[in-house]
Structure 1
Amino acid sequence: MNETTSLIRPRLAGIGLVIALIAGAGGYGIARLAGNPTNAPAAGQGNDAGRKVLYWYDPMVPLEHYDNPNTLSSMGMKTIPKYADEGGGNTPGVRIDSSTAQTLGLRTVAARRGELENGLTATGTIDFNQRDLAVVQARATGFVQRVYARAPGDIIGAGAPLADILVPEWAGAQAEFLAVRRAGDAALIQAARQRLVLLGMPSGTIAAVERSGRPYNVLTVSTPTEGVIKTLGVRAGMTVAAGQTLAEVNGLGTVWLNAAVPEAVAGPLRPGQTVRATLAAFPGETIAGRISAILPETQTDSRTLTVRIELPNRGGRLKPGMFATVSFGGNTQAALLVPSEALIRTGKRTLVMLALANGRYRPAEVRTGRESGDDTEILAGLNEGEKIVASGQFLIDSEASLSGVEARPIGALTPATAVKPAAPKALYETVGKIEQITATSVTLSHEPVPAIGWPAMTMTFQLGAPTLARGLKVGDRVRFGFDQPPAGPTVRRMTKVAGQ
């Protein structure tokens, strides 16, 4: 007994009712319709003349066999013949004539070779680019004399002041430095200046002391970069120690989009892959970005991986916390495809129902891959061009199980009938300028690639062969062709644009 039989057994009562209704209309199920339709002559007459009868049976109790057609089954039902050419001989399977197949609404399709698009879509949220974070610390111990009108969340420019700090320790060191300068001893002057540096005095303040000849004991703490104030820990009147963090400023030139991708479908994703994001805040607008990292930790509660995508943030429109939908499409791969509705999933294995010659049908075990739209990829167990049942296959599988027809195993395929590899895909071509080049990669500022929806951008490509870089240098304009294998975009052809 196979898995499909075990799935059907708990529903025998319901199936029995269906078979009884069909019997009332002129048959006892698929075997009845296939072997002896309502309008067909009895065994040994008409179309069935000459066919060998193995036994008579009731489809509702298939294990009971009788040696004559006049015997009623244990359920009181009239028996039907089981012919030798049904599910036996050199061609295993169940036989259904064309009229019965039409009555059952059977629809067959051929396994075909096609392009399976990566239609993966995930959701995520915008976050700060943590690589663009500046930490502002106190360079020396002192007292906060003044704070400027700043607060967390404020967007400030580079060099914006945060606080004025009085540093008493600088007074004596600066007086000593000025005295040594008046003495004119070069060695002592250098030593005094080095002491000011070690006390945390900025070089600009030291230069101001030299120019003015008077000490500067107040340090104005400023931001080294533009961005948003994430934390601010300085207040008027407080004492600060050397190395104490006063503020954190995060740049906004680029942001991260952290997308939650189910681990079951995250395998094909690679760093450098281009993605498209749409945000609820900007309906109808698509923003192009690329995968910068796939974090190594899986979220145990949701079984998802965090895919980090870097997005440009022109004008600071993208705010951390915004919701986004990410499409990882654009990459297609050749695959053997069948309609997803044709699959019979038992829980332990996956089957399809083969449509053989002379109205015969037989289950076959397959191994499936990715799904996209209404199609499923077949990795093993089926050949290109083989016909399978896409509608009504569950009824045939039930009859095959009752008749003891074994499914064709995956290993039954021979190398001669194995799926042939796909032909090489065409390259995507555009023109770009070489920004950086190594033996294994090239960074190009390239024009748009309409075929895959890429805008103009600067990105790094792998080199398919080191010889592609021969005779080229930084600044050259080149025409290049590339593809997108799992390892990332790879240049396969590159030539210098004429006229340079």
Structure 2
Amino acid sequence: MNQTPNEITASSKPKLKYALLIILSVLCGSALTLLVLKFAGDSHQTSMSEKTNEAEPLYWVAPMDPNFRRDQPGKSPMGMDLVPVFAEDAGSSNTNGPGTVSIAPNIVNNLGVRTAEASYSNLHVPIHTVGYVGYNEDNLVHIHARAQGWIDKLYVKSSGEQVANDQPLYALYSPELVNAQEEYLLAVNRGNKGLTNAALARLVALQMPKQAIDKLKETKTVQQTVEFRSPQAGVVDNLSIREGFFVNPERTLMSVASLDDIWVETEVFERHAAQVKVGLPVSMTLDYLPGEEWHGEVDYIYPTLNAQTRTLRARLRFPNSNQTLKPNMFAQVTIHTNLAENSLLVPSEAVIRTREQDRVVLALGDGKFKSVAVKLGAVVSGQAQILSGLEAGDKIVISAQFLLDSESSIDSDFMRMDNVDSHSMQAMPEPEVQSATVMGKVNEVKHDSRQLNISRGPIEKWGRGPATLDFDVLDTIDLSTLSAGSQVHFTFEIRAGEFVIVELMQHGQSQMNDSAQDESSNTDSHQGMQHD
């Protein structure tokens, strides 16, 4: 249907009105937005201006390295503008020094953070070595005949036989004893008291037993054979006679040893010599009775070191009332020493050890933590000795410390806030050499290349099983006493990825050798020992 021009104009008027209203609304909104932005910008500039006027920056730092500080604006080593740090900013973010990490209490609980306190105590350092069971020589009696003669009757037939106190051992026919008895009876019959006492003294000097003398006095009859008895209860050793043997005072007939307590001869390496003292407690185990443990003490320390093996001999004493321990048994011995009295100790699990330094994470309270460097001493039995870097009462983190350290160490100076001796912390100790002591059997001695092929036992502290390896040997060790089948007890160190034996004791000769043996192993065995 066709419309006239007037009709079209009339129908378009409402649409124009709506369009004009929309355009007007947009213009008004834009104007209002511009006014708000301008007001906000002016307010921000005013606050920044007031802040700048009220306080001057303490210093300027690099955005990517808070330790890079300058007294005036400039560029960081990375070419970025330095950021000003005001007093309130430094106070809020660096209350406990660079590297302080703040964590909300609920996050601390979720991380399972546990702490321990550094405290002074005695550092117990066990010395592990080996020993050989022997008689207590204080209770060892050697039997000799004071008068020469012939063994008419032998009551003990072999070494190791148990004897009771005053039990007959042997009967001796001795012309000298017969003559001494006749002289005594002659003096008695004459009634000469002086000669009688002299003759009796001669019988005692010839060790004629009291029972035999009493019988002589009672019967007034000379005894052709005299019975000699054991002076103590024990076991017979070194039996060197048989019935019919001719004996004289120069000959040892036998020995009688008590087993109520025993001695254990052991040797310790020279580096442990100063720690071993008389009276220290000792524990001992033997392979033939697994699970059993004996407790004794250091009885005597020999005054000199072995010049060849550089080891110190010590004598240990153990009670043996049930006589379970036998002479010549081989034993594993632990001497319990105190390396240093009143040492500052922390749990060893709290120490984070790196190639460059050792450090711990301090718990500063209120959810704040900070990594600090420490100088580490001995680490034994789950305790670490702290030589510097901590004080008694400091709380340190013993779990989740690696996560906290990774955050704190980014910008930490690793210094305590109250540590004025900053120079003492700059020289950190060298990384501790890892070492292990283990038993082994020599399979082959290679004199030309100075190597030993050894089948070593397990290393429990590293979780390593037995392995057969080639060990290099330093020139300071004498290989002439070693052969295939020798049982050895040795200590090796890991040096620059190589295994070096530094101490060795050959069981068969009860000898220790200060040596440096290294484990350059066959490929599979070397891989199995890489972390030893």
User: What TM-score do the two structures reach when normalised by structure 1?
Assistant: 0.51
Q: CA deviation at 1:328?
A: 6.0
1:363 to 360, 372, 376: 372
Quick check: 1:353–1:362 contact (8 Å CA) kept in 2?
yes
| Structure 1, gaps ≥5 residues long | 1-44, 414-500
Please say which of residues 344-353 and 247-256 is displaced more in the overlay: 344-353
Quick check: 2:59–2:69 contact (8 Å CA) kept in 1?
no
The corresponding residue for 1:453 is none
Quick check: 1:290–1:310 contact (8 Å CA) kept in 2?
yes
| Amino acid across the alignment from 1:308 | L
After superposition, the Cα gap between the structure-2 partners of 1:83 and 1:338, relative to the gap in structure 1 and judged at 3 Å, is: farther
| Amino acid across the alignment from 1:109 | T
Aligned pairs for 1:107-186 (under 5 A) are: 109-111=115-117, 120=126, 122=128, 126-186=133-193
Q: Distance in 2 between matches of 1:294 and 1:197?
A: 36
Q: Distance in 2 between matches of 1:107 and 1:307?
A: 47
After superposition, the Cα gap between the structure-2 partners of 1:325 and 1:223, relative to the gap in structure 1 and judged at 3 Å, is: same
The corresponding residue for 1:3 is none
Q: CA deviation at 1:303?
A: 6.5
Question: For this pair of structures, how many residues does the alignment match?
Answer: 348
| Amino acid across the alignment from 2:141 | A
After superposition, the Cα gap between the structure-2 partners of 1:96 and 1:170, relative to the gap in structure 1 and judged at 3 Å, is: closer
After superposition, the Cα gap between the structure-2 partners of 1:111 and 1:182, relative to the gap in structure 1 and judged at 3 Å, is: closer
Aligned pairs for 1:210-359 (under 5 A) are: 210-242=217-249, 244-256=251-263, 271=279, 279-284=286-291, 289-291=295-297, 293=299, 295=301, 306=314, 308-314=316-322, 316-320=323-327, 321=329, 323=331, 338-343=346-351, 351-356=359-364
After superposition, the Cα gap between the structure-2 partners of 1:391 and 1:180, relative to the gap in structure 1 and judged at 3 Å, is: same
Q: Distance in 2 between matches of 1:194 and 1:306?
A: 43
After superposition, the Cα gap between the structure-2 partners of 1:349 and 1:157, relative to the gap in structure 1 and judged at 3 Å, is: farther
The corresponding residue for 2:502 is none
Q: Distance in 2 between matches of 1:214 and 1:257?
A: 49
User: What TM-score do the two structures reach when normalised by structure 2?
Assistant: 0.49
1:54 to 39, 57, 60: 60
Q: CA deviation at 1:336?
A: 6.5
Q: Distance in 1 between matches of 2:70 and 2:141?
A: 83
Q: Distance in 2 between matches of 1:348 and 1:141?
A: 78
1:383 to 392, 413, 416: 392
Quick check: 1:140–1:199 contact (8 Å CA) kept in 2?
yes
After superposition, the Cα gap between the structure-2 partners of 1:110 and 1:369, relative to the gap in structure 1 and judged at 3 Å, is: same
Spell out, residue by residue over 1:392-438, the C-alpha distance to the aligned partner (whole angstroms, 9 max, x if none).
Answer: 576578656xx76656687779xxxxxxxxxxxxxxxxxxxxxxxxx
The Cα RMSD (Å) is: 5.5
After superposition, the Cα gap between the structure-2 partners of 1:305 and 1:57, relative to the gap in structure 1 and judged at 3 Å, is: farther
| Amino acid across the alignment from 1:111 | E
Quick check: 1:93–1:360 contact (8 Å CA) kept in 2?
no
Q: Distance in 2 between matches of 1:162 and 1:276?
A: 37
Spell out, residue by residue over 1:230-266, the C-alpha distance to the aligned partner (whole angstroms, 9 max, x if none).
Answer: 2123345544332542211111223345677887699
Q: Distance in 2 between matches of 1:116 and 1:215?
A: 70
Identity of aligned residues (%): 21
Q: CA deviation at 1:292?
A: 6.0
Quick check: 1:107–1:392 contact (8 Å CA) kept in 2?
no
After superposition, the Cα gap between the structure-2 partners of 1:63 and 1:372, relative to the gap in structure 1 and judged at 3 Å, is: same
SS of the aligned residue for 2:238 comes to: strand
Quick check: 1:56–1:66 contact (8 Å CA) kept in 2?
no
Q: Distance in 2 between matches of 1:360 and 1:192?
A: 94
After superposition, the Cα gap between the structure-2 partners of 1:348 and 1:404, relative to the gap in structure 1 and judged at 3 Å, is: closer
Q: Distance in 2 between matches of 1:82 and 1:135?
A: 93
Q: CA deviation at 1:225?
A: 1.6
